[in-house]
Structures are given as structure tokens and as C-alpha cells.
Amino acid sequence: MKKTIITLVLFLLILSLNISAQQTKSNEKFGKTLNLGIGLGYYRYAENLMPVFHANFEFDIARNFTLAPFISFYSYRNHYYKGNPHENNGYYYHETVVPVGVKGTYYFDDLLEANNKWDFYAAGSLGFAIVNSHWDNGYDEDKDRYHGAGTLFVAIHIGSEYHFNDRVGAFLDLSSGVSTIGLAIHFN
């Protein structure tokens, strides 16, 4: 009986502390935000980082969680040689990639007790990449091999945003696919 009473008292104490903590947490909303960014990314066979343009719009789904449809654009071009690089027997490879999908973001502001000027998050993106690849004259392989929207696009992200005011902020999003820095416009 003594163990039951102690357990009940501890349970009620923890419950009251949890309710008190929930009442003091902020009710910050992260959705209704347009994020416009530029950055660097790579995709498939590109041997170099490519400049990227990225846009998404976040919607509040649950407390500290948003979903954001996104679209990105990047293009790549490289010259390849057949045989001797000093002879004019090469070709150019061009690739344009347009990833489209949704990004799910969880904000850790409450956990980190961040002030209202900062947001910290982890996210994951899932979608597909529309790819247009072509080769100039001199390429003898299958030139239609990498077209279409059949490629799965998956990325993980960590990032932060600094709020200049209630309407505008700057963000840094580091990703396994496309890392960007940009402007966040809030429509709250």
C-alpha cells in the first residue's frame, strides 16, 4: 500500500509539472512561410557542385511540425574529351534537374529554449526529380537515357532561421541534397 501511495504521489507530481511546463511554452507558429533560397547542390553524375534556386511554402500541421511543398532548379554543363584532350574531339554534357516534392520539418525551439529571434530544425524531403540530360555531337551512347520524372528525390536537412522582425528572416539549410541560404517571408 505504501508503494502504491508513493507511486501515485510521484505520478501526480510529474503530471502537474508537465502541465505547468506546457502552459509556459510558446505558441509560435512556423507555417504560412515562403522560403526563397539560393545555394549549392549536386545530382547523380555531375562532378561539381551546381548553383541551385529553391522555393517552398510551409503549412502548420501540428505543434512544431510543418509540411512544405517545394521546387528547386539547377543546371550543369561539362566538357568531356575522347582520347587526347588537346584535340577537338570532345562533347558537352548538359543536365537540368527540377526536384519537386514535400519537406517535413520539426522545430526544436521549445526543446532548446530558443528565443523568438531564432528557429532550429531538422527535416526530410521526399519527391521526384524531373531530369533533362543531353549531349552535343560526338557522344555515341544512348542520348535519351536520363530524361523524365522517374527519379526519386530524398534528402535530410538541418537548419536555422534568424528573424529580423515578425515578417522577414534569413535561413541556412544544410542538406544531403541541396544546401541553401535565403530569405523567409512570414504571412502570419
Per-residue pLDDT of the chain (188 residues; tens, 9 = 90+): 445 444 444 454 454 444 434 433 456 678 899 999 999 876 655 566 788 999 999 999 999 999 999 999 988 877 776 666 666 667 777 888 888 999 999 999 999 999 999 999 999 999 998 888 777 766 666 655 555 556 788 999 999 999 999 999 999 999 988 889 999 999 97
Q: Phi and psi for 89 in degrees, rounded to 5?
A: -130, 35
What pTM was estimated for this model as a whole?
Answer: 0.74
Pick from 159, 174, 178, 170: nearest CA to 51: 178
**Secondary structure of residue 70 in the 3-state scheme:** strand
Q: Phi and psi for 113 in degrees, rounded to 5?
A: 55, 45
**Secondary structure of residue 48 in the 3-state scheme:** coil
Answer positive or negative: Cα dihedral of 19, 20, 23, 26. negative
pLDDT of residue 9: 44
β partners of residue 19: none
β partners of residue 99: 129
Which structural domains are found in the chain, ordered by start? 30-186 (2.40.160.20)
Neighbours of 43 (CB within 10 A): 20
Q: For residues 18 and 68, what is the distance between their CA atoms, to the nearest angstrom?
A: 30
